[in-house]
Structure 1
Amino acid sequence: MIGGQSWENSDHISGESVQPEQKSIDDVTIEWRTRPLLKFLISFITGGFFFLFPVQWEGQTTIPLDILMSFITDASFLAVEVFVLLILFAGGILTTISMLHYQGTISLNDRTQRLLQIGYWKTSKPFWAFRVIAIFLGVPMFFGFGPELILADGIAGIVWDVLMITIVLVIPLGGIFVNLLAELGGLQFIGTLAQPIMKPLFNLPGRAALDSAASWLGSFSVGYYLTRNVFDRGGYDKREVFVICTCFATANLGTVGAVAAVLELLHIFPLLVALYMIATLIVAAILVRVPPLSNVPQEYVAEPNPEPAFTGTVSEYFRFALNQAMQTAEDGDPIHRAAIDGFVDGTKLTAMILGTVLTIATTVLLLEAHTSVFEYLAAPLVPVMSALAIPDPQMAATAIIGGAAEYFIGATLAVGTDIATKVFVVIITSAQAIFFAASAPMMVDMFDDVPMRFRDLTLILVLRTALLIPIAAALTHGVAALGLI
């Protein structure tokens, strides 16, 4: 597993001798056009405002997205609950249709496949089961009748009234503003500005900043898609693919916002984002230089097409980034169309993950309430939490273990703990990058020619978590000492 030979393939192309072309930004023609510039600025400012701009509301500091969610739930909490139930049914039914089709049990014509986007709902049998089971859990939680075991305040009161309601609002609504950032130039602007630091810090080409930004602004699945696309065209070698997917495709802005809302931390959401990104970058800079990532061969699956190495001053890079953003905005959809597409994509993503989250969350909370399994698993970490002066060390350790199974579950186990514990847990679970409810199986499936294996991902997850614990503790105590939490 540690040796490079486990990833090598004689049919693939070695890239060890490939040298990128050297270019100056002066070689690029930069054109200033008013209409695409305004389109980029409007979408960039709007998306950033709703996610990151702190405002005062009812005596506390929060973000506009939180206020929008409050308006919706105050207007009709029942309507939101109905939406949750419909999303659960949609995820379970569409996954079942997809799985039966790919197993050959039923046959769908091409038009129906395109209409239902059958490929999007294909998953493994365990996750198919999770999505179907969620329907049978969601119905009694919605109507308030059924086994008292799952209707208890400590179970349904958290899973349904808090977790489900938050996810079903934050991700679709967040998708609107994330898409404005991702599709109309924001992603290119941020990614291009980051290019000068990618090679020296992370041994990655500058274009990898775009994949990372796509994961942070959209979702890890979007980041994987971009990475796969560039990989197939010879733009990345195997090592670069492995590093991008396991070090930079962390929790996206929308899901971090959902967890922050559940933990009542939206008033410090910009701070949380900054902390988790700092932790992510520090861990990435370390892991790319040690096994197993450093042992992955620099092989290509297509004719190598390395990125030109651009050089330029800070001001030249800023103009270059604006030019890239303008080009994307000019080629992109109208702002209203991008917003609608973002809502649709966010709703689809919600339908894909909501059932899994409900089933796993209910199971985890039942185990946590009625067994000692998580206490046993977390026991080795409790002394570490205590030594790092983390309040409620048992719950912090349990949440970290839970994060390896499912990001939402790990983070939301910290409900009711001290604010410092919540911040500490959010930093770690947001930056773990690998969880076995979605990202790990998706990587194994999407990059089978790298190849990524569960044993390798498990080792990387352990290394990431071991590094994140002291880093997150230092960051948490630092902001606490500054009076920011």
Structure 2
Amino acid sequence: MASWLGDGSVGILLTSKQYENKFYTMREAAVIGTTFSAVSITFSLVVIAQVELEHLFLPFYGAICLAGIVAAIIIPRLPPLRNKKDTFIDGTKPSEDAEVTPKGHTTFSWGLDLALQRAGTVTSAKSVFGEGVKNAVDMVFGVLPVVMGLGTVALVIAEYTSVFEILGTPFIPYLELLGVPEAVAASKTMVVGFADMFIHQS
């Protein structure tokens, strides 16, 4: 769920580390990385401020979260996520009783016990701080080059080619059906919007 709290790219990086440390299987990592990686609240506020609709921020972000939850329920049941192997990075399978709640525990109490056990492995504040700094450095040098590279490429394509215009053409009939003004112009921006996240962050 950490992915919901920060930028999607950061969430994906954290999910990748969890997969590499055998906390997630391939399928779990793929599902979390693709359906639970939302753009941060602060960036969403910047975006909605551009169209001067800040007073609608709560319903706007609520709709994003609701759409994300619906997608998280449906998308993992469809290919290609459905076809991902439920194995760890080394090819081993998770224990069959790994998700079983022991007798005498509720899901919440067992989760709390596991959290306390995990917290008990912390040896000092210095180790936590060191791990935090290491993760921050990994994010900076692991995420920023990718974001900047994709953002630059997307910007060049949007400015100097008609790729996004062609990709947006199939949306025109739907936009016209919905009564969207200037459907042709809107269709171009729909596809650019996906790349726009990278362009703004770079």
> Is the pair's TM-score, using the shorter chain for normalization, greater than 0.5?
yes
Residue number in structure 2 paired with 1:43: none
Q: How far off is 1:259 after superposition?
A: 1.8
Which whole-Å deviations, capped at 9, do the CAs of 1:354-401 have from their partners, x for residues lacking one? 67646643652x34xxx7554333111111122233344334322221
SS of equivalent residue, structure 1 residue 250: coil
Q: Deviations over 1:72-129 (max 9, x none)?
A: xxxxxxxxxxxxxxxxxxxxxxxxxxxxxxxxxxxxxxxxxxxxxxxxxxxxxxxxxx
The reply on whether 1:262 has 2:56 as its aligned counterpart is no
> How many angstroms apart in 2 are the aligned matches of 1:332 and 1:277?
36
> What is the rounded CA distance, in whole Å, between the counterparts of 2:153 and 2:85 in structure 1?
39
Q: 1:399 maps to what in 2?
A: 189
Structural mapping, 1:356-395, within 5 Å: 357=151, 360-361=154-155, 364=158, 366-367=159-160, 373-395=163-185
Q: Distance in 1 between matches of 2:148 and 2:89?
A: 35
Q: Judging changes above 3 Å, is the alpha-carbon distance between structure 1 residues 244 and 373 closer, same or farther for their aligned structure 2 residues?
A: closer
Secondary structure of 2:77's counterpart equals coil
| Matched residue SS, 1:256 | helix
Contact 2:150 / 2:198 at 8 angstroms: preserved in 1? no
The 5 Å alignment of 1:21-36 reads none
| Native 8 Å contact 2:6 2:39 kept in 1 | no
Aligned equivalents of 1:362, 1:356: Cα separation in 2: 10
Does 1:225 pair with 2:28? Answer: no
Q: Is the contact between residue 235 and residue 307 of structure 1 (CA under 8 Å) also seen in structure 2?
A: no
Partner in structure 1 of residue 28 of structure 2: 240
Q: Is the 8 A contact 1:231 1:241 kept in 2?
A: yes
8 A Cα contact 2:30 2:81, kept in partner: yes
| Partners of 2:5 and 2:123 in 1: CA distance | 19
Unaligned runs of 5+ in 1: 1-209, 413-436, 439-485
Distance 2:65 2:73 in 1: 12
C-alpha distance in 2 between matches for 1:332 and 1:387: 61
- The total of aligned residue pairs comes to 179
Alignment check: 8 A CA contact 2:157 2:163 kept: no
> 2:75 is matched with which residue: 279, 287, 291?
287
Counterparts of 1:371-450 in structure 2, within 5 Å, are: 373-408=163-198
TM-score, normalised to structure 1, is: 0.31
Query: Please, what is the CA RMSD of the aligned residues?
Result: 4.1
Unaligned stretches of 5+ residues in structure 2: none
Larger Rg: 1
Match 2:66 to one of 270, 278, 281: 278
2:6 and 2:44 map into 1 onto residues whose CA distance is 12
Contact map agreement 2:15 2:29 (CA 8 A) in 1: yes
**Greater RCO (CA < 8 Å, at least 6 residues apart):** 1
Equivalent residue letter for 1:230: Q
Q: 1:220 to 1:286 in 2, by over 3 A?
A: same
- In structure 2, distance between residues paired with 1:233 and 1:221: 19
- 1:253 — aligned with what? 41
| Contact 1:219/1:252 (8 A) holds in 2 | yes
- 1:289: how far off? 1.2
Deviation sequence 1:15-37 (CA, Å, 0-9, x none): xxxxxxxxxxxxxxxxxxxxxxx
Which residues in structure 2 correspond to 1:28-427 (within 5 Å)? 210=1, 214-302=2-90, 304=94, 306-309=98-101, 312=106, 320=112, 348=140, 352=145, 353=147, 357=151, 360-361=154-155, 364=158, 366-367=159-160, 373-408=163-198
Distance, in Å, in 2 between the alignment partners of 1:265 and 1:294 is 38
In structure 1, C-alpha distance between the alignment counterparts of 2:155 and 2:84, rounded to whole Å: 35
Sequence identity percentage: 28
List per-residue Cα deviations over 1:130-183 (Å, max 9, x = no partner): xxxxxxxxxxxxxxxxxxxxxxxxxxxxxxxxxxxxxxxxxxxxxxxxxxxxxx
Question: Relative to structure 1, is the Cα distance of residues 356 and 283 closer, same or farther in structure 2, using a 3 angstrom cutoff?
Answer: closer
Q: Tell me if the contact between 1:378 and 1:398 (Cα under 8 Å) persists in the aligned partners.
A: yes
